[in-house]
Structure 1
Amino acid sequence: MVNDKNTKVHFFILLVVLAVFIWSVIKPAGYLTWAMEVAPAVVGLTIVIAIYNKFRLTTLSYIIIAILAIIMFVGGHYTYSRVPLFDWVKDVFNFNRNHYDRFGHLIKGLFAIVIREILLRKTPLSQGSWLFGIVTSISLSIAALYEIIEWLVSKITKGGKAAKDFLGTQGSIWDTQWDMSLALVGTILALLIFSKLHDSQLKNLSYKKYSNGKKN
């Protein structure tokens, strides 16, 4: 049986995410932009909830998924270029743009831990340089795919206001490169900082035992 205490923690995390989602949908800056921004989070959360009893992740992975979903919900509510806290930071430090979008891409590097968990539990890979490299490559590929989706949305909508808010380039011709670079940096930092904690949680899973990163 899975630790009942963990189940309660996971349920609490879900309630927090749902609360932010409800707040996000109330009078957003624009409903079309909101839908485009939050769609990936809604799809991801739906999958995670649907497979919860069949493939339960570590609490660390659920916390990361919750953080990423909340970032998207906040960005969807205000649009990434108009999040008030980062407008305040912009004014205080005399930045030339609202950096919530770039902060979001940096934090999205945390998803590397979720990728790491799936690979460790579903493939013969074990801890080491190969795992680090493959997780980093997948994470960067996802970041690149997201940029391609943004470009396609812009083309399909012919650069309308909703598309411009969705892209959130704020006039930077290097916005795509910045986004992918920050996702790469976030991925490397996440793996360096959280891998040991992640390994300890994997070892404590009552339904999946590990020894030196290998499944027994």
Structure 2
Amino acid sequence: MFELSTLLSYAAVVIGLFLIPGPAVVLVFMRTAQGGRAVGVATGLGIACGDFVHAMAAAIGLSAILMTSALAFNVIKLVGAGYLIWLGVQAWLEKTGDPAVEAARPRVTARQAFLQAIPAEVLNPKTALFFLAFLPQFVHPERGSSFLQFTVLGLIFVVLSALYSAALALSARPLGRVLGRIAWLHRWKGKIVGTIFIGLGLKVAVQQR
């Protein structure tokens, strides 16, 4: 179905795209800092699942709606932006600095991080448009089922995404421990995380097709 050179080229391009920092990278780092490596890895897996949804949508043609309908694009864009802003407001309103409060507050679990990361990625219309424009470059109908080719490419993307996110989570925790020793940063971490999420939401809200 695919030549080895095609798969290697595809993997190289995908890895190159991962190296460009974006909302997914920030989300993994923030969740790792908040809850540890397991939470960071779970966030990456949630993002990978969201990517797979986009890949399957591109495979069956649903993403084409976003390319041709300004209304559909704007609705999904605003829903996604609202979700990120909601996460940011939650983080902003958390009280920090009091050790008793810190100990009593329930932390974000790996399951919660996973479930929150999926809609954060699914509701990003830019991701849908990326898959619609990018994957077809490696799909050749003369080599077999286009749907199957889309599926294979989507699965490769998901696996690479999960591995890259796991690597980020594993490398971010030592940095988080160092930063955690800085008193003022510990007190303001909720505000910092919240501001980043709100900023990402506003960025999504103003992005154009």
Q: Normalising by the residue count of structure 1, what TM-score does the alignment of the two structures yield?
A: 0.36
Larger helix percent = 2
Q: Normalising by the residue count of structure 2, what TM-score does the alignment of the two structures yield?
A: 0.36
